[in-house]
Structures are given as C-alpha cells and as structure tokens.
A and B are shown apart, each in its own frame.
Chain A
Amino acid sequence: MHRTGELYGHFETLEQQKESAALGMWIFLVTEVLFFGGLFLTYTINRHAFSAAFGAGSNTLDLTLGGFNTVVLIMSSLTMAMAVWSAQVGKKQLVSIFLIATVVLGTIFLGVKVIEYKQKFDHHLIPGAGFDIRYHAEHPTAADNAGKIAEEKEELEKAFAKDPDLNAHAQLYFSLYFGMTGLHALHMIVGAGLLVWLIKGSFAGRYTPKYNTPVEIVGLYWHFVDIVWIYLFPLLYLIDRHH
C-alpha cells in the first residue's frame, strides 16, 4: 500500500479517505452499543428481579466521587471537541493543548475510579466468598461518622426485611458494577492511548484544516465513551437515593 503524503494509495481523494474513516468509526461505535447492550440488558433484568439488593448496593457507592468523575468526563468531552475544532480551523498549538487537557482529565477519572475500587475492596464488596454487604456498617473505622453508620445499618435492615437473600443478590449488583465500570475504564485506557498517539502527531504539526481525520474519529470514540458513562452514572449510583 503506497502512500503519498496523507493519502493512502488505494483511495482516490482525501475526502474519500476521510469519509471511509468516519463511516468506519461510526459502524464501530454501533458494535460498541451492542456490546454494552448485552450488559445493560443483564442489568435491567436483574435490577427488576432484585430491586432491594440493587438499591442497597447502589447506596454504598460514593456519590461525591461519582459526581465529580461525571463532571470531569463531561469537561473532557468539551476539551476533545475543542481539539477537533482547533484542528479544523488550523490552530496547531491549541490542538496540542486541548488534547493534553483531554488526556489529563481522562487520567483523573481513572485515578478516582481506582480510589473507589479500593474502597469497595476494603468494605468486602468484591463478589465471592468474602462478600459481606454489612461489613462496613459493622466494622466502622475512626474516620467514619457514627450517625451515618447508624443510618446505614438501619437501611440495610430494611432492605434485608424485603429480601432475606440480599447478600447473594447484592453480589449480582456488584458483579455488574465492576463489569460495566471496568469495561468502561478499559475503553478509557484505550482512548487515552489513542490521545497520546494524537498528541505526538499534533507536536509534529500533522493536523491541519485539510487533514484532521485522526483527531475527528478519535473524538467520536471519546464522546461515545463519555456517553456510556452518562448512562452508567444514574443506573449505578442514583437508583435509590430518594431520601
């Protein structure tokens, strides 16, 4: 496959090449929707069957960290869109700045996710033999607010009254929590890798109003990953917060 400048030899024009790349990315995103779709269906059916356990599981998540991460990701979508725009209007320096901002925000998101995962690990909320949804309420640390722990205990008792097998069913919630956020995080890591590759290209001044296909299609991917989170956040964090 020969290449003349930015044009690969099997294409006739740059427009044809760009159209192909963009269509390819859109189709790939469709496959991603169906890929995540299997998980969303599994979530829907299990949440319908075990709503008390899903509510109890959801309430153990840290709303502040989750909310913060949501803001971070929306910001990163904005900076990504700005990077695409900068490339289209030919502001080469801004492309690099916005791409770097995007990858920094993405990394912050992943860092916060690590903190959240560790918290779940400390609270015995990893599905398996050691899983115990009451662990945190019964083993509070000095840092915990005594009033909040009492509230947590009370809520868990109510939930167990509704579903005596809550501990088993809450494991389904956490399997899905780790499965869905884990798969999302994996997409973020891939996206961060793509961004680093773009940043290298932007330092070389490769993206111009005439040729900016890579920035645009990585942008599509990045927005998609954000949208997945926009669905995950309410479905995982906000399902039983009405008091």
Chain B
Amino acid sequence: MPHEDYLNATYGLKSWLLTTDHKRIALLYLGSVTVFFFIGGIFATLIRIHLLTPTGYLVTPETYNKLFTMHGVAMIFFFLIPSIPAVLGNFLIPLMIGAKDLAFPKINLLSWYIYLIGGSFVLYSFSTGGLDTGWTFYTPLSSVYSNSAVTPAVIGIFINGFSSILTGLNFIVTIHTMRAPGMTWFRLPLFVWSHYATSLVMVLGTPVVAITLLLAGLERMFHLGFFNPALGGDPILFQHLFWFYSHPAVYIMVLPAMGVVSEVIPTFARKPIFGYSFIAGSSIAIAVIGFLVWAHHMFVTGESTYAALTFSFLSYVVAIPSAVKVFNWTSTLYKGSISWDTPMVYALGFIGLFLIGGLTGLFLACLGLDIHIHDTYFVVAHFHYIMVGGAVMGYVGGLHFWWPKITGRLYPESLARTAAITLFVGFNLTFFPQFILGYMGMPRRYHTYPPEFQVLNVLSTAGASILALGYLLPMLYLMWSMRYGKVAGPNPWPATGLEWTTPSPPPTENFDVTPEVTWEPYDYNNRPDLGLTAGAPSPAPAHGDD
C-alpha cells in the first residue's frame, strides 16, 4: 500500500491547475520549460542544417535571421532562466530547509500563469511573422526598422519578467523566514545559497529589462524617440539598460547549476564539501560583481577608454569567485571515494565545460583581443559553453539526481550514463569547432560563410545531431521510469540533505513532523544513521537496473 504523497493526494486536472503545492507547480514548470526547450531546439536544428553548406540552401537570409532570433528568445527567456530555479529550486528549497511550502504559495502559482501568458505572446509572435531582431532587441532595428512581429514578442518578454521577479522574491522570503529549527544560515545546502544569490539577481535585474523593453515597445507602437537617434534619442542607452539585466541574467542561468554541482559532488565523492563558506560566499560575490560588468558587451560601441578599462577589470574580478568554486569542487574530489553515477558524470562534465566557457570569457573581457573576436563564432561558442555546457548540464544532472525524490522511481542507470556521455561528446563536437571558426573570423548571425570554413561547420552540425540524441534519450527513459522504474526509497544515494529524510515522493506537507536539524551540512564522514562513517566502506548508491 503506497503512502499518500503529493502526486496521489488529489486527482484531476483542476487539482493540478489550481494547486498551490510548490512540488506540483515545479512539475507544471517542468512540462512548460520542456516545451520551450524543444521549440528552441527545433530552431537550433534548422540553423545547423542550414550551415552545412557555405551558401546555405535551406532557408532565405530573412528566415535565417528569424531562426537564430527565435532560438535565442525561446531558450534564454523561456527555458534557461526559469529551468533550474522554477523546476528544481521550486521543488527543493522548501524540502531542503524543512518548510511546508514556499512563503507565498499562491504567488508561486501566479508566476507560472504569468509565464504561460508571456510565453503565449511570444509564440504568437513566432507564428505570425516571426522575430528577426536578435534576442538582444537592439534599437532602432527593433523599435523602427524590423518588419517582423516585434511588438507581441516584447510584450511577452515584459510579462514573463514578472514571473521571474515573483519567483525570486518568493525564494528570498522563504529562505529568510521559513527555515526549520536548527537550520541556520551556515547549515543551508549550497543549492539554497546559490538560489539565494540567483534570486537577488532576478529581483534586482529583471525590473530594469522590463522597463527597457516596455520603452522599446512603446517607441515602436507610438513612434516615440527614447532610443531612436533620428528623434534625438540614444540607442546606446538601450544597450546599457539591456545588458544591465542581460549580463547578470547569465548568472541566473549558471548559479543554480553551480548549486546542483555542489550537492552532487560531495554525495558521490563521499566527502564533506571543501570550503563550504567560500562556495556560499562566492555565489553572493558573483551576484554582486555580476552587476558591474555589463558594458563588456559594448567594447566596440565607442564607449570611453576609461569605462572600457573599468569594465574589463571588473570582468576579470568576477572570474575569481567562479574559480573559487571550481577549486573547491576539485578539492572535494581529492581523495574522495568517487562513484561514476549519472549525476556525477554531469557534474564532472559541468566542471570541465564551465572551465572552458569561463576562461574563454576572459579572452573576451580582454580589450584588445575582444576587438578581433567580437561578434564572431568565438562568442557563440563561449556562451554556449556556459549556458549549455554549464547551465543545461547542471539542469539535466540535477533532474537525474533528484528524480527519485520527485517521482519516487529510479531511472535506468547504464542507459542514463550512456546518455550523459553522449551529451558531453555531442556538445563538444558542436561547439569546440566554433571557437576555431570565430578565431579565424567567421562572424555570428550570418547565413553564409566562405567555403574554407565548411569542414568545421560540418563537424559542428554532426555534433549537434549527437547532442540532439543525447537530449532525446533522457526525455524518453525518464518518462518511462515514472511508471516502470524501480521504487527508489527515501534516500537511494544516500545523501545528507534534509530533502532525503522524507519519503519519495514526499507527502503534500513535505514532512510528517517539522524536522529539527542537529547536524552540519555534507557531513559524509559522520552520519551513522545513513551508514556513513569515516574509514568504513560507504553504502553503494541504488541503481534502477541493478
């Protein structure tokens, strides 16, 4: 007889669409961000097929502009930004801190509906003429000259911003006021710390992009002149306002993934995390310094040399807390008892890919070098290493790690490990050639290229097809496992977090009795209740196909 949990407590469509349970809302988000991921993925596939040949036979130049724009808009605003926070963060933060729900459950549901409304506007734009401004909406192209459906897209992203703001607000308040007895700030899982930092960025940055896009939209609708030089306005002002949000937005994507990695690594290295307070503090440092680097996207706009020097310097500074994390993760691995479970494969993949993405970011922060590689495929490769190699690897890895908690079932381990390696190989084959292409001078956003670049483009497209397979596999076996997977039990790995002390799937109220925390975080040497003691062999993780 199964216990009553959040999945079988009530039935029917209404019980889902009107739920205020953070766990169910997380699953609603899981479904909707997956839809946008596949929409964005279809655009990416078309782009890569088009670039198989130097002259690009598949689509017209105008359509090509729309493809890369819509790929960016769908992926950034409707997949990457909500993915880890709204799915995993939503599901896990109350469980990790010992709360019954987020502080504002109705606002949590509201934020999902706002996401859907914003998403509908954007899909309307995609299907009625598309969008060709680039995801950056630079004015006056977006506000005056573009003949595509810019207005509904801008309205959609404006609306969607409030979903992000409300999620961030909800997380901050929850972490402040809803912690269980004994769950002090320095006993919080690092996943919670990274979401706290992410929420700060969401709350402080998103309103700025909202007002900016609102102004650009008003400018387009009513022929106002804020950003239009023909009417006295300043297009550079738009870029400053846009990047004030959109650079920190990168940290909205990658900080939660860092949180996932910080949970996975100690679990499968069977060691306490190295430098807990430094990892926690570096999340906050990234969020704060991340707000001070935006103009490194604008080195070629003619901004003053002194401003450029300052922004270049600060961009180097933000690499320090990122590096602190990488060093701490590798130190945690040192002399650990490492097992190669699927989430661990993703986490290790994350470290490698994030390292490449981060270091190439320093190339771009370098004033002289940036002039050479600005707006080339080098930039495209760099941010895909951060966003796909970093954020998406973290997201998929995190889904695997907490899948037994979410569904109560285990996924098939060997298939999952194969998929993780497929993803890693496919990703590198897709994007590493793009570093070389960019360095050799292939500009981004062009629908043709000189014939000598074809080999590298073919490699990249070949990689993309492997990558696509790597995404389809988890999609299929995770759905399969929801019904047919082996029953997981409360703590299959075992891991030390509070979320693993409650049954899988958890009951609606999360814990049968409010937990009291008496142990330190990641105490993998000293948790005899989980069979974890220093020196003794630790229990093997449970696998779906053992």
Contact = CB atoms under 8 A, between A and B. Distances in A.
SS class, residues of chain B in contact with chain A: helix
A175 interface: yes
Contact of B224 (A19, A24, A171): A171
A37 B224 contact: no
Interface in A24-49: 24, 27-28, 30-32, 34-39, 41-42, 45-46, 49
Interface string B202-242: 01111110111001001000111110000111100100010
B215 A42 contact: yes
A179 interface: yes
Contact of A175 (B224, B234, B514): B224
Given A10-B105, A24-B173, A42 B225 contact: no
Given A127-B222, A179-B218, A23 B204 contact: no
Contacts of A35: 207-208, 210-211
A37 B170 CA distance: 22
A133 interface: no
A168 B169 contact: no
A86 B211 CA distance: 37
B74 interface: no
Contacts of A1: 20, 101, 105-106
B96 to A, nearest CB: 15
Given A34-B204, A35-B211, A28 B169 contact: yes
Contacts of B241: 38, 41-42
A59 B99 CA distance: 56
A168 B225 contact: yes
Nearest to B165: A31
A24 B222 CA distance: 35
Nearest to A163: B232
Name the residue in A11, A19, A23, A34 with the highest tally of chain B Cβ atoms < 10 Å from its Cβ.
A34
A179 B106 CA distance: 31
B231 A168 contact: yes
B237 A16 contact: no
How many chain B residues sit at the interface, stated as a range, is 35 or more
Given A20-B103, A168-B225, A38 B215 contact: yes
A128 interface: yes
A26 to B, nearest CB: 9
B104 interface: yes
A172 B225 contact: yes
Given A10-B105, A38-B215, A169-B232, A16 B210 contact: no
B176 interface: yes
Nearest to B226: A42
Contacts of B103: 10, 20, 24
A9 B222 contact: no
A138 interface: no
Interface string A1-18: 100000001111000100
Contacts of A19: 176-177
Contact of A168 (B174, B232, B514): B232
Contact of B232 (A10, A50, A128): A50
Contacts of A172: 224-226, 231-233
Name the residue in B178, B233, B237 with the highest tally of chain A Cβ atoms < 10 Å from its Cβ.
B233
B100 interface: yes
B172 interface: yes
A162 to B, nearest CB: 14
A77 B231 CA distance: 39
Contacts of B208: 34-35, 37-38
Interface in B133-174: 165, 169-170, 172-174
Nearest to A15: B177
Contacts of A23: 172-173, 176-177
Contacts of B104: 20, 24
B226 A30 contact: no
A9 B102 CA distance: 11
Contacts of A36: 211
Contacts of A20: 103-104, 173-174, 176-178
Contacts of B207: 31-32, 34-35, 37-38
11 contacts: A1-B101, A23-B173, A24-B103, A36-B211, A37-B211, A38-B211, A42-B215, A42-B237, A45-B234, A171-B231, A172-B225
Interface of A: 1, 9-12, 16, 19-20, 23-24, 27-28, 30-32, 34-39, 41-42, 45-46, 49-50, 127-128, 165, 168-169, 171-172, 175-176, 179
